[in-house]
Structure 1
Amino acid sequence: MRRIADSGYSTLLMPDVPRWQPAPGPALAVAATLTDLRVGSWVYASPLRPAWSTAWEAHSLSVLTEGRFELGIGTGRPGIEDELRDLGLPVVPPGQRLAQVRETVAALRGLDGPDSHTPVVMAVRGPKALALAADLADTVAFALMPGDDRVESTRVVRDFRALTTRDVELAQHVAVIGDTVAPFMASPDTDPAALRAADSLAVLPDDPTAAAEEIQRRREELGISYFVFGAGSAGTLAPVVAELAGR
């Protein structure tokens, strides 16, 4: 954690994958006491968590970190149905999962009250999720599929911009740096060469100069200002962070 903070990164994020790592809430609270980093969930899966208790946890983390926590939430990664069955939880349809997201954010706003605001990051893909994010989110991350090229990703971003007049930050989940596929962030069988051939936004070069140029291009062409990388590539991209931080 200190290594990441010392490299200039702004935020430490944790996935919501049961049994793969410590639970995000306590781990993020500890991280916030050890560093000045912002912290957040990337992202809580709504069908795994009752709405009110998720909101309470998010509000509590916001208070404990003095406003440095952001709630990342979505309807669940691919394969969430099998995970729910394994845990003995109901398998609810996508529309109900979206309703759970809305309920969670509404409860969080009630707990925050008029004098505080816990930022909400939503991971979205389909038109209904995009519309909900346009209403609720402070930051939006677009879920990319392996075959999505730059043209398709640009279309999704522009469609979202047409849905809202609010100032919503755009984020990108970059799962592959060079030939390194980040655990938690992409399937183990992800083919970096195929992503590059498709001109996918899910990959960045591992050369710091080329990576910085590509990030600047995405900022200018798409308005993306929040980039998420795997911890294993933190050292590789540290020169990029040093060059672009604050710009």
Structure 2
Amino acid sequence: MAKKPFRFGVVAAASEGGAKWLQTARRAEELGYSTLLCPDNLNLPTPTAALAAAAAATSELRVGSFVFASPLRTARAAAWEAHSLTVVTGGRFELGLGTGLPTMRQQAEELGLPYGSGQERLDAISETIDHVRRLDGDGHTPVMVAAGGPKARKLAGAKADVVTLAGGVLTTREEMAGYAEEIRAAAGGRDIELALNIFVVGEQVPPWIRGFIGVDAETLIEHDSLTIIRGSADAMAEELERRREELGVSYVSVNGAFIEEFAPLVERLTGK
């Protein structure tokens, strides 16, 4: 497979208010990150407002949803927000879509929306992409799909520009390689970008991240998890190159808690 050049994103939420959020956006741009990615959750500021503010505070930084959860909007509403962000950011928005976590069932109910079956949530992603393409006209909002299951991988390969390999935190390298092949097969001859999200840099898992992923650093290391990267800068760079060679992953995002620790890799590998 042809190697794509590396680019990097940082995943952060605007939970600490405007000044801190804008500082994060400016720092991400200063450190050379390609994209600032914002999660979608009713307990956090909406990505639409947060990303518009981040783009306005920077000049080249791209912004993206990570990811719009299909149970929290109708497909048409999600497309409206996405196209609007593309317009107001001058084409710097990347639309990330996913089916949402099971915990979002209650959040969907709060909005008066159905959580839906797995297939219904996938259908909503497909419909959102179709609506965005129509709204964009001659433009093009890049679409990323977080693909965790076989049906999601097939849909993502067929319709997305970027596909995040979204297996469990203990998914093996061999399994991930198989997922990547499924996506490429579904893409046919289309040019797609494969992505991976890293939760931990180093050998310490912050308590709130451990609560989210459900395992400690020792378990991640024991299982050779792809959600952690550690060692010297040389060792981590070699590991990212290995992942690109074996999986085709060239777009790597990292949790905002490690924006500084990961920065040397961004400087070293971006565009290479």
The reply to whether TM is greater than 0.5 is yes
The more displaced of 124-133 and 181-190 is 181-190
1:19-38 pair list within 5 angstroms: 19-20=43-44, 22-35=45-58, 36-38=60-62
Contact 2:176 2:247 in 1 (8 A): no
Q: Which structure 1 segments of 5+ residues have no match? A: none
| TM-score in terms of structure 2 length | 0.85
Contact 1:183 1:230 in 2 (8 A): no
Equivalent of 1:43 in 67, 73, 77 = 67
TM-score (norm 1): 0.93
State the partner residue of 1:73.
97
Distance 1:94 1:12 in 2: 28
Structure 2 residue 272 is the aligned partner of structure 1 residue 239: no
* Residue 189 (1) aligns with residue 211 (2): no
Q: Deviations for 1:172-193, whole angstroms, at most 9, x for unmatched residues?
A: 0111222235957971532121
| Mapping of residues 111-150 of structure 1, within 5 Å | 111-113=135-137, 115-150=138-173
Is the contact made by 1:181 and 1:190 (CA closer than 8 Å) also made in structure 2? Answer: no
Alpha carbons 1:124, 1:133 under 8 Å: kept: yes
Q: CA deviation at 1:155?
A: 1.5
Measure, in 1, the Cα distance between the counterparts of 2:154 and 2:131: 19
Measured after TM superposition, the shift of residue 56 of structure 1 is 1.0
Q: For each residue in 1:46-70, what CA deviation from the matched residue of structure 2 results, as whole angstroms up to 9, or x when unmatched? A: 0111111110111111011111101
Q: Which residue of 1 aligns with 2:191?
A: 167
Q: Secondary structure of the residue that 1:26 maps to in structure 2?
A: helix
Picking from 229, 250, 262, the partner of 1:225 is: 250
Matched residue type, 2:221: R
Extract unaligned runs of 5+ from structure 2.
1-24
Counterpart AA for 1:116: G
| CA shift in 2, pair 1:57/1:130, >3 Å | same
Change (3 A) 1:163 1:55: same
Distance 1:203 1:52, change over 3 A: same
Aligned pair count reads 245
Q: Letter of the 2:42 partner, please give it.
A: P
For residue 85 of structure 1, report the CA deviation from its aligned partner. 4.1
What RMSD over aligned residues (CA atoms) do the two structures have, in Å? 1.9
Using the alignment, how far apart are the partners of 2:164 and 2:179 within structure 1?
A: 11
Superimposed CA distance per residue, residues 91-148 of structure 1 (whole angstroms, 9 cap, x where no aligned partner):
31000001111111111111001x1000000001111111111111000001121331
Cα distance, 1:186–1:177 mapped onto 2, change above 3 Å: farther
- For residue 151 of structure 1, what is the aligned residue in structure 2? 174
User: 1:89 offset after TM fit, Å?
Assistant: 3.3
Contact 1:175/1:186 (CA < 8 Å) preserved in 2?
no
Task: Give the structure, 1 or 2, with the largest relative contact order (CA under 8 Å, sep 6 or more).
Answer: 2
| Aligned 8 A contact 1:16 1:24 in 2 | yes
Match of residue 110 from structure 1: 134
Contact 1:15 1:41 in 2 (8 A): yes
Match of 1:163, SS? helix
User: Structure 1 residues 186, 246: closer, same or farther in 2, change over 3 A?
Assistant: farther
| Stretch of structure 1 that moved more, 7-16 or 75-84 | 75-84
Work out whether residues 72 and 107 of structure 2, in 8 Å CA contact, stay in contact via their aligned partners in 1: no
Q: How does 1:62-101 map to 2 (within 5 A)?
A: 62-85=86-109, 87-101=111-125
CA contact (8 A) 2:73 2:113 kept: no
Could you tell me which residue of structure 1 aligns to residue 84 of structure 2? 60
